Structure 1
Amino acid sequence: MESDPVKEEVVVAQSVVGDDEIEELIKNLEEQCKINEKSGNFLEADKIYQRILELKKQGQQKKREILIARQKNEASDIETAYQEELKLHNAQWQEKLTLFKQSCKDAEDQLIKKQQNESETNKLSLEESLPIIPKHSPELLNLKRIQDTLVRNKEYKEAHYVQQQMIELEEKLKQTWGIDRDAKIQQNLAQLAKRQENEMASFKQKILSGAEELKKMRSAEYESLLKKYQNLRKELVITHKLEQNRFEGKHTTGCGTTRIDLNQSSRAIFNLRTPMSSRPATAAGDRSMMGSSSLKNLSSP
C-alpha cells in the first residue's frame, strides 16, 4: 500500500514546534493544491485542501494553548510577587515591632531606675534635714531658765526638782517628735510616690499611643500593597481578555489595540511594578521608623 505524502506531511507538522515550519508546510501544500487544481485533479486537490484546513486548525489550537499558558504564567507571576512582597512586609514589620518593644522596655527600665534613685535621694534628704532630737520647746526653755536661777541662788533641791521636770518633758517631747517626724517623712514620700505613679501612667499611655500609631502605619502599608496588586490583577485580566478577543477575531471596543500593543501592555505590568522586595531591608531603614514622634518621647515622659 502506497503511503500518502500529504498525510505524512501532516504527521510531521504535528511534531513541529515552530510556527514558521508549519506555515512553510501549509505554503507547500497550497502550491500542490493549485497544481492539482490546474491539472483538473480535483479529488486530490480537495484532499490536500482538507489537510491544509486541518493544519491551520492544529496551528490555531497550538497558538491558543501557548497564549493560555503564557497568560497563566503571567497571572502566576503576579501572585508569586504578591506573596513574596507580603512575606517581606510581614517580616519587616515583625522586626519593627520587636525593636519598638525593646525600646519601650529599655525606656521603662530607665524610668524605674530614675524613680528609685529619686525616692532614695529624697528619703536621705528628709532624714538629714529633720533632726532626730526636737528643738527645745518654750516650756522647756522656761524650765531651763528657772533651773539656772535656782542654781545661782544655791537652791539645789528646788533646782533638782525642776531638773526632773525637764527630763520628763524632754522624754515626752522626744516621743511626740519621733511620731511627727516619721509622719512628715512618710507624707513627703507618699506625695513623691503619687507623682511617680502619674509619671509612669503617662509613660505607658505614650507607649500605647506609639503602638497604635505603628498599627495604623502597618495597616496603611498593607492596604497600599493589596490595592497595588488588585489593580495589577484587574489590568492583567483586561489585557488577557483583549488578547483572547483579538485571537478569536472578535471586535474589541475602545482604541483598537494591536497585538504588539497588547504584548507591551502585558509586559508593562511587570516592568512598572515597584514591590517592597526591591527595596533593601536595611537596619537604617528600620531605625528610621524608631524616629517617629511616639518613640522619641518614650525616654522623656
Structure 2
Amino acid sequence: MSQEKYSLNEYIEILQDHIQTCERENKFTEAEHAKKRLNDLLEQEERKKVKEAKLNHEAERSELEDGHLLEFQNFVNIWDKKIREQKQFSEQELFSLMNRHEREKSQLEDRLQSQIQVKPKPTAEILNLMNIKERLLKLKDYGEAQVVQKRINLLNKSEIENWEKERKRKMMQKLIQLEKRQGIEMSALKIRLKAFENDIIKKKSEELERLLQKYQNIKKDLENYQVQEINHMVMHK
C-alpha cells in the first residue's frame, strides 16, 4: 500500500480500516505490521502538530514582544514630550522672572536717583560762614573774605563727599533689599518648577512600572497557556 498518493490523515484512516479488516479476516501478522505503521504515523503526526504548535507559539511571543516594543516606544515619545514641554515652560518662567527683576531694579535705581538729592543742603556752619563772607564783602575786607571762602570750600567738599557716601549707602541698601526679595522669589519659583519636573518624572516611573508589569503578566499568561497546550497534546496523543 503506497502512501505517496494519500495525505497523512487519509493514510492513517486507510491503515485503521485495514487493521479492522485484518482482524475480521484473522490476518493478525498483517494487522500487527499495519498497527506498527499506524503508530509510527500517529507519532509522526503528533510530532508535526507539536512542531507547528511551537512555531505558532514562537510567532505569538514575537507578536507580543513587537506590540510591547511599539507600546514602549509610544510611552517614551509621550513622556519625553511631556518632560521637554515642562523644561521649556520652566525656562520661560525663569526668563520671564529674570526680565521682571531687571526692570524692577532699573526702575528702583531711577526712582532713587530722583528721590535722593545729589547735593546736600548747606549746614548751619556753612550758612553762618556765608553770612560772614557777605558782611566782609560789604566791608570790602577781601582778604578775610577769601579766608572765609576757603573755609567754606573745604566744608562744602567734605560735606559733598560725606553726602555722596551716604547717598550711595542708602541706594545700595535699597538695592540689596530688592535683590534679597528677588532672590527669595527666584528660589521659590525654582523650587516650584523643580517640584513639577519631579512630579512628571515620578509619574513617568510609575507608568513605566505599570507598563512593564502588564507586559510581564501577559507574557506569563501566554507562556503558561502555551505550556498547557503542549502538555495536553503530548498527554492525549
TM over 0.5: yes
Structure 1 position 50 matched with structure 2 position 36: yes
Distance 2:162 2:20 in 1: 133
- Choose which of 193, 197, 216 in structure 1 pairs with 2:183: 197
Secondary structure of residue in 2 paired with 1:248? helix
Counterpart position of 1:181: 167
Instruction: Confirm or deny: 8 A CA contact 1:104 1:207 kept in the other structure.
Output: yes
AA in 2 matched with 1:205: I
Structure 1 position 96 matched with structure 2 position 77: no
Structure 1 position 37 matched with structure 2 position 16: no
Distance 1:144 1:117 in 2: 44
Counterpart position of 1:108: 94
Distance 1:88 1:119 in 2: 47
AA in 2 matched with 1:207: L
Secondary structure of residue in 1 paired with 2:235? coil
**Deviation digits for residues 93-126 of structure 1, max 9, x if unmatched?**
2222222222222222112111111111111110
The Cα shift of 1:232 comes to 0.8
Counterpart position of 2:201: 215
Which structure 2 residues correspond to residues 23-172 of structure 1 after superposition, within 5 A?
23-143=9-129, 150=135, 155=139, 157=141, 160=145, 164=149, 165-172=151-158
The Cα shift of 1:143 comes to 4.6
Distance 1:35 1:224 in 2: 63
Instruction: Confirm or deny: 8 A CA contact 1:132 1:178 kept in the other structure.
Output: yes
AA in 1 matched with 2:125: E
Distance 1:223 1:35 in 2: 65
AA in 1 matched with 2:78: Q
Distance 1:200 1:182 in 2: 26
Which structure 2 residues correspond to residues 226-241 of structure 1 after superposition, within 5 A?
226-241=212-227
**Deviation digits for residues 134-176 of structure 1, max 9, x if unmatched?**
123333444556667x48xx54549947962545433332222
CA RMSD of aligned residues (A): 2.8
AA in 2 matched with 1:221: E
Distance 1:190 1:56 in 2: 95
AA in 2 matched with 1:118: E
The Cα shift of 1:53 comes to 1.9
Structure 2 unpaired stretches of 5+: none
**Deviation digits for residues 224-264 of structure 1, max 9, x if unmatched?**
011101111221122123222322237xxxxxxxxxxxxxx
Distance 1:162 1:134 in 2: 23
AA in 1 matched with 2:14: N
Instruction: Confirm or deny: 8 A CA contact 1:143 1:162 kept in the other structure.
Output: no
Distance 2:154 2:20 in 1: 145
> Comparing both chains, which one has the higher relative contact order based on Cα–Cα distances under 8 Å and sequence gaps of 6 or more?
2
Counterpart position of 1:290: none
Secondary structure of residue in 2 paired with 1:103? helix
Distance 1:156 1:181 in 2: 39
AA in 1 matched with 2:224: I
The Cα shift of 1:216 comes to 0.9
The Cα shift of 1:68 comes to 1.5
- Identical-pair percentage: 26
